[in-house]
Amino acid sequence: MPSALTSLRRRAKALHRNLRGARMAAHALASTEHPLLAHIIPIRRCNLSCTYCNEFDDFSKPVPTEEMFQRIDKLGALGTAVVTISGGEPLLHPDLDDVIRRIRSNGMIAGLITNGYFLVAERIKQISIDNVNPDEVSKKSLKVLDKKLQLLAEHAEFHVNINSVVGGGISNPQDALTIGKRAVELGFSSTIGIIHDGSGQVQPLNDEERRIYDEMKSWEKRSFTRINAFQDNIAQGLPNDWRCRAGARYLYICEDGLVHYCSQQRGYPGVPLATYTRDDMRREYLTEKDCAPHCTVSCVHQVSVFDGWRAPQHPAPPTPAATSARELVQIK
Ligand code: SF4
Ligand code: SF4
């Protein structure tokens, strides 16, 4: 159980966060000229190696802190609302706390996606972050994960969301249910995601996965706030009709400082963040992504909702430089 002081601080921070969230939503609706969410990678290396994951290696060095600062300042200058630090495993970066501070000093909300392996009581108390998403990972035993969740329940003053995943050939889909139940018990918010396999492909859920997905969905009102129609379609292998605003409202900044559509579409636009302009964002805002119908990248769906009713998109112009890069990986 958290101490009374931790609970009080957590409530005060939740109030502050809700106010910032409301301001962010109002600003998002008022203007399309700024990114709502950026994922930034401070290190590609991960201490684990989940079977479905195509976002890690086991050798990369951390991005130099000064370079991280420059990238974060640029995101601030573009008017980004939320910056989520992802990886690899971001807790392997030696100056993660400075990176978080830099995000906040730019007036942006700071989030962290971690496998939680390095979260011990002292570290949880040290991290001055707004949101943490412990990644549900297939390489970690439920026992270890449960211990980490207890530590977070006890010490975290920040918002914790537990994301469970099904699909992608995970051998024990039942684990998602166990983790989801535990998250609810401990008072965390919780989401369920359907994931692609290691090659970026997504398959309709099998019977057991579907049963687990449906059970979690039945908890939606209580805790699983982000399940929505798009995931229902993915679960059945059906396409979604939506406008992906990646490259404009959502940016994925890799360890080399390049802007990509998302983790699953690296390589386009694939240009340095340092030279990324509002004109680039305006172009991508209006560019149709032909991988959209079967996309599983839920955070981009969520930020694109703000503009679902706005500006129809059109295919990218076939310029010579862009012709090959336009052939996006098809997520089926
Ligand atoms: S899913 Fe997360 S924990 Fe697992 S290998 Fe990928 S980056 Fe590491
Ligand atoms: S549709 Fe999905 S996979 Fe394609 S660019 Fe957008 S977020 Fe990435």
Q: Whose CA is nearest to atom 3 of ligand 1?
A: 115
The pLDDT-based confidence of 237 (bands split at 50, 70, 90) is confident
Name which residue sits closest to atom 1 of ligand 2, judged by CA: 292
Is pLDDT at 244 greater than 70 in this prediction? yes
> Residue 248 Cα, ligand 2 centroid: separation in angstroms?
12
330 part of a folded domain:
no
Please tell me the total count of domains within the chain: 1
> Pick the residue with more confidence: 8 or 198?
8
**pLDDT over 80 at 239, yes or no:** yes
Whether residue 115 has its Cβ less than 6 Å from ligand 1 = yes
Any domain includes 53: yes
Testing ligand 2's pocket by substitution, the residue of 37, 264, 285 carrying the most ligand atoms inside 8 A of its CB is: 264
Q: What is the mean pLDDT of residues 25-41?
A: 87
Give yes or no for residue 296 having a pLDDT over 60. Answer: yes
Highest average pLDDT, of 15-19, 128-132, 153-157, 326-330, comes from 153-157
- Give 54 Cα–ligand 1 centroid separation in angstroms: 8
**Among the atoms of ligand 2, which is closest to the Cα of residue 292?**
1
Report if residue 190 sits inside a domain: yes
Residue 322 domain-assigned?
no
Q: Does 264 contact ligand 2 (Cβ within 6 A)?
A: yes
Beta bridge partners of 110: 83
> What's the pLDDT score for residue 139?
57
CA 261 to CA 251: how far, in whole Å? 6
Q: Which of 5-9, 17-21, 73-77, 310-314 has the highest mean pLDDT?
A: 73-77
Residue 325 lies in a domain: no
Output the pLDDT for position 311: 75
pLDDT at res. 197? 62
Distance CA 236, CA 257 (A): 36
What residue's CA is closest to ligand 1, atom 7? 88
By residue range, what is the domain housing residue 10?
Answer: 4-315
- Please tell me if the CB atom of residue 157 comes closer than 6 angstroms to any atom of ligand 1: no
Contact 89, 114 (CB under 8 A): yes
Q: Which residue has the higher pLDDT, 107 or 173?
A: 107
Task: Assess contact for 107 and 140: CB atoms under 8 A.
Answer: no
- Which pLDDT value is given to residue 246? 97
Asked whether residue 329 is assigned to any structural domain, the reply reads: no
- Tell me the C-alpha distance between 261 and 199, whole Å: 17
- Tell me the best of 297, 298, 299, 328 to mutate to test the pocket of ligand 2, counting ligand atoms within 8 Å of each CB and taking the most: 297
Q: Is the CB of 251 under 6 A from ligand 2?
A: no
136 lines ligand 1 (CB under 6 A): no
- Closest-approaching ligand to the CA atom of 37: 2
In this structure, is the dihedral angle defined by the CA atoms of residues 295, 297, 298 and 303, taken in order, positive or negative? negative
pLDDT tens-place string over residues 165-206: 887 767 778 888 888 888 888 888 877 788 776 555 577 788
**Ligand 2 pocket check for 295: Cβ under 6 Å:** yes
CATH (domain of 194): 3.20.20.70
Confidence of residue 329 (pLDDT cuts 50, 70, 90): low
**Alpha-carbon distance values, 66 to 62, 92, 95, 205, 258 (Å):** 11, 16, 10, 44, 16
Answer yes or no: is pLDDT of 138 > 70.
no
Kindly state the average pLDDT of the residues 223-232. 60
Q: Six-digit token pair at 285? A: 């805002």
Distance 323 CA to ligand 2 centre (A): 18
Nearest CA to ligand 2 atom 3: 295
Of the spans 30-39, 64-73, 286-295, which averages the highest pLDDT? 64-73
Per-residue model confidence (pLDDT) at position 179? 84
Residue 220's pLDDT is: 58
Name the band, by pLDDT with cuts 50, 70 and 90, for residue 254. Answer: very high
Whether residue 36 lies inside any domain: the answer is yes
Give per-residue pLDDT as tens, 45-70.
999 988 778 899 999 999 999 999 99
Confidence of residue 225 (pLDDT cuts 50, 70, 90): very low
Query: What local confidence, expressed as pLDDT, does residue 320 receive?
Result: 47
For ligand 1, whether the C-beta of 137 sits within 6 Å is yes
Per the model's pLDDT, the better-predicted residue between 176 and 90 turns out to be 90
pLDDT at 94: 97
